[in-house]
Amino acid sequence: MKIQNIWDLNKLEEKGIRSLAPKRPKISIGLSTCGVSLGADNIFEKMNREKEKHALKISIGQTGCSGFCDLEPMAIVRMPGKPPLLYTQMTVKKIKQMIQDIKRKKITQEGLLCKIGDPALPRRPDPLLNEIPDYQEASPFKDQYRLLLGNCGVIDPLSVSEYVAMGGYSALYKAFYQMSPGEVVEEVIRSGLRGRGGAWFPTGIKWDMARKTTSEEKFVICNADEGDPGAYKDRTIMEGNPFKLFEGIVLAGYAIGSHLGLIYLREEYPHTYQFLNKAIDIAKRYGLLGRNVLGSNFNFTLKVIRGGGSYVCGEETALMDSLEGEVGDPRLRPPFPIEKGLWEQPTIVNNVETLANIPLIIEHGGEWYAGIGTEKAKGTKIFSVIGQVQQPGLYEVPLGTNLEDVIFKMAGGSLNGGQIKAVQVGSPFGSFLPREKLDISLDPETLRDMGSMIGSGVIVVLDQETCLVDILLHTLSFFVEESCGKCAPCREGVFQMKEIMTAIYEGRATMKDLTDLIDLGEMIKDFALCALGGGAPLIILNGIKDFRKDFEAHITTGKCSWSS
C-alpha cells in the first residue's frame, strides 16, 4: 500500500489502532539490541513454537527498548478492551505461565510493572487493574517528559500503521501540503531547537543557511556514530521508533532542498544496521521514501552507511571524510559543511536526537516547543544515567531540570545507599562535579560556566569508594586510543598527559609533575584541532581543581586518601 493522500493516511491510522487495541490477546517482546543480548530472541522463537504447537489464538509481536536495558527482556500484553500491561525481566518459563493465564483470562502478576494508557485507544474499566500504576506514575518512567522516547518500547518499531496511529507522518503531510520549505525552516527557528550533538548550534539557523545556498545538490547527514562510553539514546530511538527519525530526515531534506539522506551509523551497531535497512524497505513500500513521498512531488532517498570504527568520526568533518572513502580526519574550518560539505556540496549534519525532534515541532508548532525548557535551551534532553545508581537508564526531561532530581528522585540515588562522590555530565568530555555542586540546572550554559558540558547526555555517578584518579587515567587512555593523530597537541600532548597521570596513579610522581600536568593541559586545549584534543585536557584540569587531594594522595602514598 502506497500512501498517496490523507484518506490513505487515515486508513493506515485505523489499522494501527486495531493493532494497538486488538480483538484477540497479543504479546509483544522487546527485540532491540539489549533485549536480544538478554535472550529476547529465544523467548520470541519459543513463543511462536508454543503458539503453533497448541494452535493458540494469540498474536505474537515485537517492540523496541524503553531505555532501561536492565529490565529487559520486556513484554507488553494486550487484552481486548483493556489497557496494555508492561512486564519486565521475562523468561521462557514466565512467558509460558503468562500464556496459560491469558487462556484463563487471568492477569499474570510476576514481572508486572505498569499499565500503558492512551486516550485514543478504547478500553473498558476493570477493577482488577485499579491497583496497577499507570505508565506515567511507575518508576522509572515517573517524572519524565518522554516526547522522543514515548513510543519506544510501546509500539512495534517496524509497523508504519502503529506509528501513524500514534500521530506519525502527520507532520510530514502538513509540511508537504500546507507549508513551503522556507516556512518549515522558520518553524524550526521559532522552536529554538539547538543541535543535540554537543555544539548546541541553532538547528533552524543551520538549515536556513543551507537552504539559501545555490547548489543544485545538497545532502542531509544523520550522525548516528554514537561513540561516547555509556551513550545509547540514539540507538534506542533508531531501534524503538525508526519512522520518527526517517520523518525528521525527510523534513530536513524538504526544508533545505536535498533529495538524499545518509545515516552514518556506528560500526559497533550491527543489529541496528540490519534493523534500519529493514525499516527503510518498509518505508519505501508505503511510499514514505523514494519517488513522490506521501503522494507529493518530492523525492527522497535514504541510505545507511556503517561508520569507520573510529571515535573521531563522530566529528562532522571527519565523518564526511569517512563517507567519501578517506581516513576520517577533522578538517580545518572554514569552509563549513553548509558551504562545502560532503563531496564539496552544501551539507547539514544533525544527530539522531536532533532530527527526531523535527516532526514534533512541525506537528505542534515552534511556539509550543519553545515553551519547554529554559530561556536559551528549548525542548527536552535524553540523559543516560549510569554508574552507582539504583536505576540506570535513559531519562528524558525538559532542559533546565535539576541534576539532583535526575539522580536522586528519578534514578533512585546511590546504588548501595552510600554517599555519592562525583558525577560526570557529558561523558567522556564532561567534568566530574563533586557532591556539593550537584544542585544545578541541566542546560548547556550552566554546565559550560562550571567548566563542563551536556555533550551526549551521559551522566556517570561515582560513589565514595571510587578512585577518581583511576577513572580519569582510563578516560585519558581512551582519548589516546581514539586520537586520529593529525595534530601534534593531541597526538603528542594527550599521550604525555597519560604518561604523567600513570606516574601519579602509581605513586611515582612529584608535586612538580602535577604542575606540569596542569600547564600541559592548558596548552593542549588551546591549540588542538578538534573537540577531542581540545576536550581531553578539560576533565583532568577540572578534576585537579575539585579533587586535588585525591591526586596528592596518590603522589605521596600511591593510593586514594580513603584507602586503608
Q: What is the pLDDT of residues 235-275, one digit of tens each?
A: 999 999 999 999 999 999 999 999 999 999 999 999 999 99
Q: How far apart are CA 66 and CA 85, in angstroms?
A: 14
Per-residue pLDDT tens for 402-428?
999 999 999 999 988 789 999 999 878
Entry field: residues in the chain: 564
Residue 118: pLDDT band by 50, 70, 90 thresholds?
Answer: low
- Give the C-alpha distances (Å, rounded to integers) separating 272 from 248, 320, 456, 479: 18, 21, 19, 25
* pLDDT value of residue 117: 75
Candidates 3.40.50.1370, 3.40.50.11540, 3.40.50.720, 2.30.30.700; correct CATH number of 168-370?
3.40.50.11540
Q: How far apart are CA 220 and CA 203, in angstroms?
A: 13
Q: Where are the beta strands (DSSP E) in 159-244?
A: 219-224
| CATH class entry, domain 380-463 | alpha beta
Q: In the chain, what are the helix, strand and coil shares in percent, each to the nearest 5? A: 45, 15, 40
* pLDDT value of residue 126: 61
Given a cut of 50, is residue 119 above it in pLDDT?
no
Q: What is the number of other CB atoms lying within 10 angstroms of the CB of residue 201?
A: 12
The whole model's pTM is what? 0.94
Per-residue pLDDT tens for 480-525?
988 888 888 889 999 999 999 999 999 999 999 999 999 999 999 8
Residue 559: pLDDT band by 50, 70, 90 thresholds?
Answer: confident
Beta bridge partners of 114: 86
Q: How far apart are CA 108 and CA 56, in angstroms?
A: 17
Per-residue pLDDT tens for 75-110?
999 999 888 999 999 999 999 899 989 988 889 999
Enclosing H/E stretch for 497: helix 495-505
Per-residue pLDDT tens for 194-237?
999 878 899 999 999 999 998 989 999 999 999 888 999 999 99
Cell reading at 35? 533485549
* pLDDT value of residue 564: 47
Residue 73: pLDDT band by 50, 70, 90 thresholds?
Answer: very high
* pLDDT value of residue 127: 61
Taking Cα atoms as reference points, which of 289, 209, 222, 191 lies closest to residue 257? 209
pLDDT-above-90 percentage for the chain:
76
The answer to whether domain 468-557 has CATH 1.10.10.60 is no
Topology annotation, domain 19-137:
Glutaredoxin (3.40.30)
Given a cut of 60, is residue 277 above it in pLDDT?
yes
Do residues 505 and 554 lie in contact, with contact meaning Cβ atoms separated by under 8 Å? yes
Q: What is the mean pLDDT of residues 387-402?
A: 96
Domain residue extents for the chain = 19-137, 168-370, 380-463, 468-557
To the nearest whole number, what is the mean pLDDT of the chain?
A: 92
